[in-house]
Amino acid sequence: MIKKEMIAMLLAGGQGSRLGVLTAKVAKPAVAFGGKYRIIDFPLSNCINSGIDTVGVLTQYQPLRLNTHIGIGMPWDLDRNNGGVTILSPYEKSAGSDWYSGTANAIYQNIDYIDTYNPEYVLILSGDHIYKMDYEVMLDYHKENDAAVTIACMPVPWEEASRFGVVIADEQGQISEFEEKPANPRSNLASMGIYIFTWKILREALIKMKNVPNCDFGKHILPECLGGGERLFAYEYNGYWKDVGTLGSYWEANMELIDIIPEFNLYEEFWKIYTKSDAVPPLYVSGEGFIEKSIVCGNSTIEGSVINSVIGAGVTVEKGAVVRDSIIMKNTKIGAGCQVNKAIIAEEVTIGENCILGTGEEIPNKVNPKVYSFGLVTIGEDSVVPSGVQIGFNTAISGVTDAGDYPGGILAGGETLIKAGDRA
Amino acid sequence: MRAIGIILAGGNNHRMRELSSKRAIAAMPVAGSYRSIDFSLSNMSNSHVQKVAVLTQYNSRSLNEHLSSSKWWDFGRKQGGLYIFTPTITTDNNFWYRGTADSIYQNLDWLKQSHEPYVVIVSGDGVYKMDYNKVLEYHIERKADITVVCKEMPEGTDMSRFGVLKSDENGRVTDMEEKPMMTDSHLISCGIYIIRRRQLIELIERCALEDRYDFVRDILVRYKNVKKIYAYKTNEYWNSISSVESYYQTNMDFLKPEVRKYFLADHPEIYSKVQDLPPAKFNAGSHVRNSLVASGCIINGTVEDSVLFKKVFVGNNCVIKNSVILNDVYLGDNTYIENCIVESRDTIRANSRFVGEDSVKIVMEKNERYIM
């Protein structure tokens, strides 16, 4: 019988609605990051670098991009005879078929998958954080403490602690209490959503709680384990960890990669981040091109200026265009003479000539001020923007737009322009 | 596809000077992200030639490293696959490959055990895109014994580094010379041949009996009047990495938009081993113009009309002009490089100056790399 010491379950089914039009057609873990990567590459690479060769990826919302990206797991060396990566989507059962209604419910529905590998421990990951972590060290800590559950936690500034789920632990790290977004936090150790469970204990808890609606790790399983007298420990992590859940934090995390020596260093040989490579060819900078303080992926052609930006693979920046403080994803074309400021432009977008993206004052977004509120221009994938238009900040565009959609050639700050049916 | 493939990648070439001292020609880096064998291998794969042998001998380690997995070129299938044959000592043989024909002879079992009726033989140093099916169609249509892919070279080309042919109006080869000092023909052999498998086995066996070892001299040239040899002319881009000058020129050709489009944008694509390097990084003070930059590079200085391969580090205030900087080179601050090829993994100390005056200079410093 196959026996794995620890397997990983990667929760990748969420939409990530706070990323607005970026996640209209793809699940958040499949959103591009740092030019050539996708967010899910980070936990997947961490797994293989930590020696975990069996990973179940739970998908639900818009899984196509994720499925094609992961494939048989070749880029991460997860194409294994024994183990490897498996995509676990919700499935029909003889009695009652369900979507994944919560994080723990998703794992509950895949108990059979986990049992196949007969593991001692199960690592629960989420597919929406940017970080490097050696899960093997965390497992050692789990074993040393003879713990039932180990929760990776990060000390956050006290004034921000009320935004997180915090754990209250003693000096040995043993957890005595949880607080979800407390008004007056008693601890600044925030849970990172990374758990190691002793499988036997998790299995029992999942079965016991199977009828709890929207069964969730933070809300149901962890309190249940704690209440049942199990040993829960906090594993303190002090490296780089970034939740890219909002457009603002997503933009910031990308921009941090540009620093001379970025805090999150992609150039480390001993902890490579793997991805399905879209582009083998080198990039080309023309005679008129100019690039400064930027990272640019292969197969891109830069004939204009790129300053302080992150450029994906196969991007074309035409003559006279100036791209500043922006993120441009793969195969997007920026027309000649455009000025692009503080924009996030998704994949396969065409921007016409002489457009100005990011201009004027910051006016709060009228439709969805919580999502589009960071002084950015956000353009969803496969969009088309006609030549000669001006677009203000805190705007969102999705779909094929034409001159008629821009009265007077302007999309004012705070406006949202979504053309295709159910995209939001 | 009704053919198997053989890639001849065993040779060294003294015209590559120091560049061939640490690698096989077929493993020479090309166009920032590739190695020369990637072109032949991708052509094989894209032409659905599923079973390919790479015959390698000189500095074969460099090539083996590149070919450590066949999956990048989409081989590694149940049907067919990629075979790497270096010379081995057997009860019947204790020689190195004494020539191209001998290298095939020493692996004749592989040819005999295959069942495909045709063989595509190509050299591993060509930079080109080709659908071998088209050549095979031509071969069958002409009822040829051997088909040689040819290219008409412009007036004034130095013909002494090529195999030179003459053909009649039907394409039948009437004359053939290997690296002639003087000739009035401008039709050269691209080193790509199609031949029936049984015919090849017969010719190679007879060649071995007569202690002859070279495919071009001892088979093509000797049999030119006996066998029906046809020339298949191509007008597409083709270059071979056979001298420092042609190597430099081939890399510089990729700065031309039409060459980049043909190789890097148009279908089908050229595959190479994937290395998972981060995107290229341009820091403050970088000024790159008309250049190719591969992934993993970090640039702080000026780069003009040059090709930078993977993981090149360009220090502050560096100036690089008209140069080819191979993989993993570290250029210290204030370095000036013009008309040079900098050998891979080299470390250039700060404030250095290298200029190729009359011809391209090869820079090989062999300095220790200190961890910065």
Give pLDDT tens digits for A379-411. 999 999 999 999 999 999 999 999 999 999 999
Q: How far is A130 from chain B (nearest CA, A)?
A: 15
Whether the ω angle into residue A29 lies within 30 degrees of 0, i.e. cis, is no
Task: Classify B208 as helix, strand or coil.
Answer: helix
Cross-chain residue pair B283–A273, CB shorter than 8 Å:
no
State the pLDDT at residue A421.
Answer: 55
- B255, closest residue in chain A (CA to CA): A284
CA distance A353 to A17: 31
Question: Are A312 and A32 a contacting pair, CB within 8 Å?
Answer: yes
Cross-chain residue pair A74–B71, CB shorter than 8 Å:
yes
Q: Sign of dihedral through CA atoms A224, A226, A227, A229?
A: positive
State the pLDDT at residue B371.
Answer: 56
CA angle B350, A272, B263 (to 5 degrees): 75
- B285, closest residue in chain A (CA to CA): A292
Tell me the pairing of strands B229-233 and A283-285: unpaired
Question: Are B42 and B31 a contacting pair, CB within 8 Å?
Answer: no
Instruction: Please name the member of A273, A275, A296 whose beta carbon is closest to the beta carbon of B282.
Output: A296
Cross-chain residue pair A273–B296, CB shorter than 8 Å:
no
Cross-chain residue pair B284–A284, CB shorter than 8 Å:
no
Q: What is the pLDDT along chain B (372 residues), one digit of tens a residue?
A: 699 999 999 878 888 898 988 899 999 999 999 999 999 999 999 999 999 999 999 888 889 999 998 989 999 888 889 999 999 888 888 889 999 999 999 999 999 999 999 999 999 999 999 999 999 999 999 999 999 999 999 988 888 889 999 999 999 999 999 888 888 899 999 999 999 999 999 999 999 999 999 999 999 999 999 999 999 999 999 999 989 999 999 999 999 999 999 999 999 999 999 889 999 999 999 999 999 999 999 999 999 999 999 999 999 999 999 999 999 999 999 999 999 999 999 999 999 999 999 999 999 998 888 654
Beta bridge partners of B147: B194, B230
Cross-chain residue pair A295–B286, CB shorter than 8 Å:
no
* Count of residues in chain A: 424
**DSSP notation for A30-91:** GSEETTTEETTHHHHHHHHHTT--EEEEE--SS-HHHHHHHTTSGGGT---SSSEEEEE---
Instruction: Please name the member of A75, A275, A283 whose beta carbon is closest to the beta carbon of B293.
Output: A283
Record the tokens describing residue A340, joined without a space: 């692009």
Cross-chain residue pair A274–B276, CB shorter than 8 Å:
yes
- B308, closest residue in chain A (CA to CA): A282
Record the tokens describing residue B175, joined without a space: 């004359």
Contacts of B263 in chain A (CB under 8 A): 281
A270 touches chain B (CB under 8 A): no
State the pLDDT at residue A423.
Answer: 45
Record the tokens describing residue A399, joined without a space: 């779909």
State the pLDDT at residue A12.
Answer: 95
Question: Are A330 and A278 a contacting pair, CB within 8 Å?
Answer: yes
Number of other residues whose CB lies within 10 A of the CB of residue A417: 18
How far, CA to CA in Å, does B254 sit from each of A89, B239, B257? 45, 12, 7
Count, in order, helices (H) and strands (E) of chain B. Answer: 9, 28
Beta bridge partners of B149: B232
CA distance A159 to B140: 79
State the pLDDT at residue B102.
Answer: 94
The complex's ipTM?
0.91
**Token pair 């059979």 is at which residue?**
A112
Nearest to A301 by CA among A320, A322, A317, A319: A317
Cross-chain residue pair A282–B32, CB shorter than 8 Å:
yes
Nearest to B356 by CA among B322, B333, B328: B322
A286 touches chain B (CB under 8 A): yes
Contacts of B270 in chain A (CB under 8 A): 280
Question: Are B12 and B59 a contacting pair, CB within 8 Å?
Answer: yes
Task: Classify B97 as helix, strand or coil.
Answer: coil
How far, CA to CA in Å, does B111 sit from each of A385, B89, B114, B123, B152? 57, 19, 5, 17, 32
State the pLDDT at residue A189.
Answer: 94
Cross-chain residue pair B33–A286, CB shorter than 8 Å:
no
Record the tokens describing residue B210, joined without a space: 């007569």
- Type of residue found at B237: Y
Sheet harboring A310-311: ordered strands across? A416-418, A395-398, A377-379, A343-345, A327-328, A310-311, A294-296, B280-282, B298-299, B313-314, B330-331, B347-348
H or E, element range at B249 = helix B244-253
- pTM of the entire structure? 0.92
Q: What is the pLDDT along chain A (424 residues), one digit of tens a residue?
A: 789 999 999 999 988 889 999 999 999 999 999 999 999 999 999 999 999 999 999 999 999 999 999 999 999 999 999 999 999 999 988 887 889 999 999 999 999 999 999 999 999 999 889 999 999 999 999 999 999 999 999 999 998 888 888 999 999 999 999 988 888 999 999 999 999 999 999 999 999 999 999 999 999 999 999 999 999 999 999 999 998 989 999 999 999 999 888 888 888 888 999 999 866 899 999 999 999 999 999 999 999 999 999 999 999 999 999 999 999 999 999 999 999 999 999 999 999 999 999 999 999 999 999 999 999 999 999 999 999 999 999 999 999 999 999 999 999 999 999 986 544 4
CA angle A209, A215, A218 (to 5 degrees): 105
Contacts of B282 in chain A (CB under 8 A): 291-296, 306
Nearest to B361 by CA among B312, B322, B330, B333: B322
Contacts of B313 in chain A (CB under 8 A): none
Instruction: Please name the member of B264, B282, B291 whose beta carbon is closest to the beta carbon of A294.
Output: B282
Cross-chain residue pair A34–B255, CB shorter than 8 Å:
no
Region of B334 on the Ramachandran plot (φ > 0 left; ψ -120 to 50 alpha; else beta): left
Instruction: Please measure the distance between the N-terminal and C-terminal CA atoms of chain B and give it in whole angstroms.
Output: 52
Tell me the pairing of strands B51-55 and B3-8: parallel
CA distance B154 to B169: 19
